[in-house]
Amino acid sequence: MDQAKVLHQAYEVSAQWFDQVSLSPLGNGHIHHTFLLTSSQHRAHFVLQRVSENVFPNPYLVQRQTRRIIDHLLKNEEFSRRYRVPKLQPCKNDEFHYVAESGFWRVWQYLDNTQVLESLEVPAQITLTARAFADYQRVLTDLPGESLVETIEGFLQLDFYLQHFSLVAENLPRDLRNSVARLRKRDLGFSEFNAYVHADCKVNNLLFNVQATRVAAVIDLDTTMYGHWAWDFGDLVRSIAFSRGRVDLYDYQNAAKGFLQGLQKPVTEQMVQEMAKVPGYIAGMLGLRFLTDHLMGDVYFRVSESGQNLQRAREQFALMQQFDDNQKHMKDIVKGLSENLAKQFY
Ligand SMILES: Nc1ncnc2c1ncn2[C@@H]1O[C@H](COP(=O)(O)OP(=O)(O)OP(=O)(O)O)[C@@H](O)[C@H]1O
Ligand SMILES: [Mg+2]
C-alpha cells in the first residue's frame, strides 16, 4: 500500500486521540504500519499503529489479549522493576482502539531514551535478549483467567504448515523435495503446549537503553499465545544465526545462558533435548512457510521480485541442516550451562 496514503489516513485517525499532531514513520516493522506521533497538546510522543488485518484477521482479539498481558506485566513487581511496559493510550471516547474505514488503529505510549538494535554485535547483548524473552515467558506463566488463544491460526506449528503445504505441493526441484522429505521425517515434537510464548522473538522486538547495555522493554506482543516454551528460544537462535549467515555455537551458548537465567528453573534432560532440537524445527517450519507462500503466489510474505520466497525457503532449509548437524554440540552446551546454573541458584 502506498505510504503517502497510509500517512494521510494516520493524520485523519489521530484526531480521535489528539487535536494537534505531527507524524513520521517509525521503525522497520514488516507487519503493521507504525508512526511516531508527536502531540503538541501533551508535549509528548506516542506510537500510532494500524494493525495488519491481513496477518491478524481478528484485531479485536489481539487487542483484548494485549490488554490482559500488559495489565499482568505491570502487576508483576519484579518484571516492572526490570523492564518498562508500554501502555495503550485511550482515544477521546475512552476506547483503546479506533476502527476507521482505513482499518483498526491503536496508540501506544512511546518509550523514550530507547533504541532498537537491528543486529547483536556484543555477546552480552545476546544473553540479555534471550533473558528478556524468557523473563516475559516466565512472568506470563500465572496469567489469570481463560487462556490466550491463537491470534494467527497454527502459528509456528510444523504439522499445521505441512498440511497446508500438501495442498499446494507440485513439481518441486530435487533439493526442495529433499528438504521437505526431511521435515516430514522429523519426529514433530513441540506439539504439547505448556507455556504462554511471545512467538516473535527477534532482537528488533526489544527496546534497549541508549547505551545498549540493558533491555528496556519487550514489545510487539501480538502473537503471544499458548504454545511450546522452546519455540521462543528456537526462534531467537534461528534469527541470530540468520543474521550471521550461519550457525555459530558461541552465539548459541550466549542465547542459551540468557534464556535459562530468565526461566529460573532446573534444567531437565527433556529440556536439554528440546533446546538442541528446536532451532532446526523453527528454521524448517519457516522454510516451509516461505516455500508454500511461493507456490501460492506470494500472498503472505511481501516480495520485491518473484522467486524471493523460494530463495528464502532455501536459506532456512540450509540453516535447518546446519542446526541439525550441530545437535550434539548444542546438547553439550546446554548441559554445561545447566550444571553451572545449578551451582549458582540451587
Ligand atoms: N512503545 C514503543 N516505544 C518506542 N518505539 C516503539 C514502541 N512500539 C513500537 N516501537 C517501534 O516501532 C517498531 C515497530 O513496532 P512493532 O514491532 O510493534 O511492529 P511490527 O510491524 O509488528 O513489527 P514486526 O516486523 O516485528 O512484526 C519497533 O521496532 C520500534 O522501533
Ligand atoms: Mg516488531
* Per-domain residue ranges of the chain: 3-56+87-112, 123-345
Instruction: Output the pLDDT for position 121.
Output: 85
| Partners of 104 in beta bridges | 51, 99
Check pocket membership of 31 for ligand 1, CB cut-off 6 A.
yes
Predicted confidence at residue 42, as pLDDT, reads 80
pLDDT of 346 over the 60 cut: no
CATH number of 123-345: 3.90.1200.10
Determine the Cα–Cα distance for residues 85 and 87; give it in Å rounded to an integer.
6
Answer yes or no: is pLDDT of 169 > 60: yes
Average pLDDT, the chain: 93
Contacts of 155 (CB under 8 A, 6+ apart): 199, 223, 225, 227
Calculate mean pLDDT across residues 195-209.
97
The whole-number pLDDT of residue 1 equals 59
Determine whether the shortest distance from the Cβ of 116 to ligand 1 is under 6 A: yes
Instruction: Tell me what pLDDT residue 345 has.
Output: 62
| Mutate-to-test residue for ligand 1 from 207, 223, 224, highest number of ligand atoms within 8 A of CB | 207
Task: State the distance from the centre of ligand 1 to the C-alpha of 106, rounded, in angstroms.
Answer: 12
Residue 67: pLDDT band (50, 70, 90) is very high
pLDDT, tens digit, for every residue of 265-323? 999 999 999 999 999 999 999 999 999 999 999 988 888 899 999 999 999 999 999 99
What is the length of the chain?
Answer: 346
CA gap 12, 5 in Å, rounded: 11
Residue 94 has pLDDT above 70, yes or no: yes
Phi and psi at 62, nearest 5°, equal -55, -45
Give the confidence band of 43 by pLDDT, cuts at 50, 70, 90: confident
What distance in Å separates the CA atoms of residue 275 and residue 117, rounded to the nearest whole number? 25
111 lines ligand 1 (CB under 6 A): yes
Residue 3 has pLDDT above 90, yes or no: no
Q: Please say if the pLDDT value at position 145 is more than 60.
A: yes
What distance in angstroms lies between residue 123's CA and the mean position of ligand 1's atoms? Answer: 23
pLDDT > 70: percent of the chain? 99
CA distances for 46 relative to 24, 188, 218, angstroms:
11, 42, 16
Q: Do residues 231 and 199 lie in contact, with contact meaning Cβ atoms separated by under 8 Å?
A: yes
Cell of 213: 547495555
Whether the pLDDT of residue 189 is over 90: the answer is no
- Here the cell at position 29 is 516493522
Q: Are 115 and 203 in contact (CB under 8 A)?
A: no
Q: If you measure from the C-alpha of residue 21 to the centroid of ligand 1, how many angstroms do you get, rounded to a whole number?
A: 19
**What is the average per-residue pLDDT within 85-111?**
97
Is 309 in a helix, a strand, or coil? helix
274: which 3 cell numbers?
A: 528440546
Q: Please determine, for residue 115, whether its predicted confidence score (pLDDT) is greater than 80.
A: yes
Architecture, CATH, for domain 3-56+87-112: 2-Layer Sandwich (3.30)
Look up residue 46 and give its three cell numbers.
506516542
- The pLDDT assigned to 217 comes to 98
Q: How far apart are CA 343 and CA 267, in angstroms?
A: 12
What is the model's pLDDT at position 144? 83
First to last CA, the chain: 54
Residue in 26, 218, 223 to alter for ligand 1 test, most ligand atoms within 8 A of Cβ:
26
Residue nearest (by alpha carbon) to ligand 1 atom 20: 29
List pLDDT tens digits, range 72-88: 999 999 999 999 999 99
In sequence order, what are the beta bridge partners of 192?
none
